[in-house]
Chain A
Amino acid sequence: MLDFLLGVAVVAAIYGILAISLNLQAGATGLLNFGLVGFFGIGAYATGISTMHGAPWPLGMAIGLVLAAAAGAAVGRLGRTLAAEYWAIATLALAELLRLVALNTDSLTRGPQGISAVPGFFSGLGPQSRDLAWLGLAALVLALCWWVSQRVTGAQFGRVLRLVREQPDLAASLGHDVVGAKVRVMAISAPMAALAGSLYTHYISFIGPGQLEPFATFLVWTMVVVGGLGNAFGVIAGAAIVQLLFDVTRFIDDVFDIPSENAGGLRILVVGAALLGFLYFRSGGLVPERLRRIDARS
């Protein structure tokens, strides 16, 4: 039981990083990124491919971060010509494109079988203390991303993002480069998603195209909506709750008399129901975004 909870916590912390990343885009800036998993994939495959060729893990991770920042900036730049809805569709399409490339370029990504035996961290420790160490590492990275997110959104930079989210023309009239703000926030947040991808790949020692399915993006969206879009603390809580829910429902076929081949679909159904329920009854999430109170001291 403890092993199970530890595993859930590690994955939840990694998803928490993804939730922080998405929250910077969708929550702070109003960028509806339906292709978040693409940036996760960039980090994951950069780690997978680099370590497969014998590169040390920090190199793979760094390559993933740099590539994701560049890709994020480029995708943010698309926001110049595309209205919000079309931009959202474009992100979904780009992430799918990336998945299909991963699926079909066997020489680079080993295609559908994916890259396995990615070296993990803390391999000298026993299983339980290894997970405990992983939890510490993931929580540390999560805390770092949260800190960056808080600093960035708390200053003028964040106010500009929020103004771009709600009244882009007003932001432009006050001298703020609306496109530049999107580019910059993508270049900051996309590497966070890549970092999560890299960590996840090291943790489970595997990356395959199946992990780049759009469902992963919507799982993070559910976490962000359940936790509270625009509230960095809320979305971390959302990540923990939804991940726990998602993992507990793994045992659905044991408790109820359901054929195990149907159980997987049922888990997705539960996540979907949580998303719908929150959108309908509590669209602000568990910890809604609050107005930021500024006083002379702050």
Chain B
Amino acid sequence: MLAAEGVRKHFGGLAALDGVSLEIREGEIVALVGPNGSGKSTLLNVLSGFLEPDGGSVTYEGRPIHRLEPWDVSQLGLRRTFQLAAQPTRMSLLEVMLAGARLPEGSSAWRSVFRARRVRAEQRAAVERARGLLEELSLLPLEHHAAGMLSGGQQKLLSLGAALMGDPRMLLLDEPTAGVNPTLRRTLAERLRTIRARGTTLLIVEHDMNFVAELCDRVYVLDKGRVIAECAPSELAEDERVVEAYLGSVRPTAARRAPGATAPPPEVRT
């Protein structure tokens, strides 16, 4: 569904991405892990059109997208969230949610002046939908509050909600659990599974290995701008390069104790 082929991106002398290739198939939940500075966010920026790669290509549903503007990529149904999911301080949660919806009537300046009735009708359905999603994200009581005043974790949830308003076929999530409390994390994992069940493919940048093990089908490990491993979450701790680059030293017993995706993740000592 989404494939990167030999993607390179340099910042000055630094090779942030040094020939990255990966492929995400329809219906999968794939994790992208790696140490800080390994190029995860840069890769996400390239995949979503926010950065143009110096070399290589990105194809989404068979068409090259690496030269498209980010909003064009988003309109194709490939949406993303940000690691720092900063929200506007002078817009309410509901407004941000609606901004995520596709409202062709209200998006036109002409029609918002002269077709106010149709603009309102179109918006009414979106408001219902937005409130439903806010409810599921435990944000409904705050619907009329300023989005920028939310806690960091709540801002993350809101950006997920706004992205979902556009019914994306694929979602790229940059650390969706960072700053989200443990109870809500579990809800979030369930929620992401539901999203997948409804037909959305997911690529998730995540540091929480429990979350990855619980949720993801496959993992790509990135280090120094290269893919150093691609495996099932349960196999992570068995890969020496992954352990060395990312997980730190792992007790071998712990690694052997993880036979499947539902098993407890490797114990990590850094």
Residues of A at under 8 Å CB distance from B? 148, 151-152, 154-160, 162-163, 165-167, 169-178, 184-185, 188, 230, 289, 291-298
B88 at the interface (CB under 8 A from A): yes
A154 to chain B minimum Cβ distance, whole angstroms, is: 7
A165 neighbours in B (Cβ, 8 Å): 88
> B123 to A173, Cβ gap below 8 A?
no
- Interface of B toward A, CB cutoff 8 Å: 48, 50, 69-71, 74-75, 79-82, 85-92, 94-96, 98-103, 105-109, 112-113, 116, 119-120, 123-124, 127-128, 131, 144-146, 148, 159, 162-163, 165-166
A174 and B113: CB pair below 8 A?
Answer: no
Ordered by A's residue number, 9 sampled pairs between the chains whose C-beta atoms are within 8 Å are: A152-B112, A155-B116, A156-B107, A160-B99, A162-B91, A170-B96, A176-B99, A178-B71, A296-B131
Q: With A155-B112, A169-B82, A173-B48 in contact, is A293–B69 under 8 Å at CB?
A: no
Q: Apart from A157-B106, A172-B50, A294-B95, what are 14 other A-B pairs with CB-CB below 8 Å?
A: A152-B113, A154-B112, A156-B98, A156-B119, A157-B108, A160-B99, A169-B70, A175-B71, A175-B79, A178-B71, A291-B91, A292-B92, A294-B94, A294-B123
Which chain A positions have C-beta within 8 A of B119?
Answer: 155-156
A291/B144 in contact, CB under 8 A = yes
Contact of A177 among B69, B108, B123, B144 (CB under 8 A): B69
What residues of A have a CB within 8 angstroms of the CB of B88 in the complex?
162-163, 165-167, 170
Contacts of A157 in B (CB 8 A): 106-109, 112
Chain A: minimal CB distance from B84 (Å):
10
CB-CB nearest 6 A-B residue pairs:
A156-B106, A155-B112, A166-B88, A175-B74, A155-B106, A156-B103
Interface-centre pick from B74, B75, B79, B120 (highest chain A CB count, 10 A):
B74
Residue from the list A173, A230, A294 in contact with B98, Cβ < 8 A:
A294
Once bound together, how far apart are the Cα atoms of A158 and B103, in whole Å? 12
